[in-house]
Structure 1
Amino acid sequence: MTSRRPTISRRPFRAGWCTTGALLLAAAVSGCGASSGELSGMSIPPAEPPPAPEPVSATAQQPEIGSTPVTEDDSEQPARPTDETTRCHTSMLSGTVEEGDAGAGQRYAELVLRNSSGQTCTLYGYGGLELIGQDGAPLPTDLERVPNPGPALITLSPGETASATLHWTAVPHGGEPVDQPCQPTPARLAVIPPDETDSLRVDWPFGPVCGFGSMDGTAYHQ
């Protein structure tokens, strides 16, 4: 008996059917004719689960003691009160000159400043002044400070006053006329409060200031 050799079917090679590195592992195995049994023997590591969120401590959600809370708009918060008292500015004051003692050619008056504002303020020390003529022009003025009383801090509530004592003479000095007024008659004073630069106007009803406008004045006091 003549034996027959088994017929082997030769299939043509198809280029690109199994390309190394071009496809994923499962597709490459399937495309190359691997059976399900061959796949079942392979170990595929499971995907790692995402990391769990870290627990947040309850104390971390609260602001630290002494920390400043955040507000939506700090500009809407009311301003904090302050204990500071401002200096009495010229715009806060009004003035008068009140007649004092007189005798033997000597004249005295009290230059009074009143707190005409609605705010408490302070005065300290000496002020300045200038004699003003009827035509509004400055007149010769020579103000000298005297030490008694000296400077002291004065607190003026609204409506309260402080004064400086002024002294001058009605007796002509050398070089001044004796048969007519020794100096032009002032109409008012330009008064500068302590530590200010602006002046306020005060009526002057006391006639000429002899000695070429020489005056002396104390610090403001109550």
Structure 2
Amino acid sequence: MHFSLPRVTPRTAKLTAWLAIPAALAVSGIAVSNASYAAFSATTSNAASNWSAGSVALTDDDANAALFTVTGLKPGLTGANCIAVTSTGSLPSAVKLYATNTATTNALSSYLSVSIEQGTGGGFGSCTGFTPLATTPSLFAGTLAALGTANTGYATGLGSWTPTGTAPETRVYRITYSLAASTPNSAQGGTASLGLTWEAQNS
């Protein structure tokens, strides 16, 4: 017996190929659909982290006024004033005292003696009640010229006060000056000026 195969025309071949593509896509779609539901998942997370910087802060009670404004200075004259410095920072720190903006004429600063003590009690304008610290009360004793030359920045600053940063702390400084009785006539009409700076750096 003889069978004849149907003739496949180009149109039939194209149609067959076109029909085969959707069938393949359908099978693929079933596989993707199954895969999208084939995995379980779980997560855990940590709450948002936060950072806040601490601080170092110093204030004083001088109301922006100079410790001394002296005119008519003469040999043997002396005077004193106090200033209260308060640390309000939240970090432990080390506080140093140093001289700034020094100037003199007729070498007056070389004959002007200065002493600086630290303690408690008293404040700007009055040293009433000032009590020197039991340990290392004296920070400096010498001429104004020496202070303005040797102690001019934090690295060479005076003092060893170390506020803890847990609560406000106050330290009072008593500054005393006197013009030497041996001051020569060449210093007449001379001037001297010096600023004091307290600086805290966190430790």
Q: TM-score, normalised by structure 2?
A: 0.38
Structure having the higher Rg: 1
Larger fraction in helix:
2
- TM-score relative to the length of structure 1: 0.36
- Higher relative contact order at CA 8 Å, sep ≥6: structure 1 or structure 2? 2
